[in-house]
Amino acid sequence: MAKDFEGSPFDIRAAVFDLDGLLVNTEELYQEVGTDLLRRRGKTFDAELLDAMMGRPQHKALSIMIEWHGLDDTVETLADETKAIFQTLLSTRLALMPGAKELIEHIRQLDISLGVATSSGPEFAHDVLSRVGLIHHFHFILTSA
């Protein structure tokens, strides 16, 4: 059902949210993973590298990291290590961003359909939304794969 807001020329039917950094703190966790991964190799994870990697599929982001620091690791090796570090952080540090739950619940009360769009993969998006208890609010999840 569309919602007609008084005084607004818009007929709002849906709202779509980004996942990482807007609904959940995963951008912060990605930075911690990158920092840990590179610290183990005597390298640093600076803002420039983060900017170059952010929003890209994992394979591409890790390729950038390898080239940036001249690492001997393969993308597959770094991906496995990244997954292990990230799973630990997800289980201990994953959190909703301030106000996210309240905003989602408010919009749902207005009978507006909700969706999530993310450059992450479908399994990850579903896992994260399930862990924070929001998955049932969304009518669709648009992912990179």
Contacts of 122 (CB under 8 A, 6+ apart): 141, 143, 145
Residue ranges in the chain assigned as alpha helix (H)? 26-39, 47-53, 58-69, 75-93, 100-109, 122-131
The tokens for 28 are: 């912060």
The tokens for 47 are: 């803002």
Residues belonging to the active site? 18, 20
Q: Got the DSSP string for 44-64?
A: ---HHHHHHHTTS-HHHHHHH
Give the Cα separation of 41 and 20 in Å (integer). 26
Give the Cα separation of 79 and 84 in Å (integer). 9
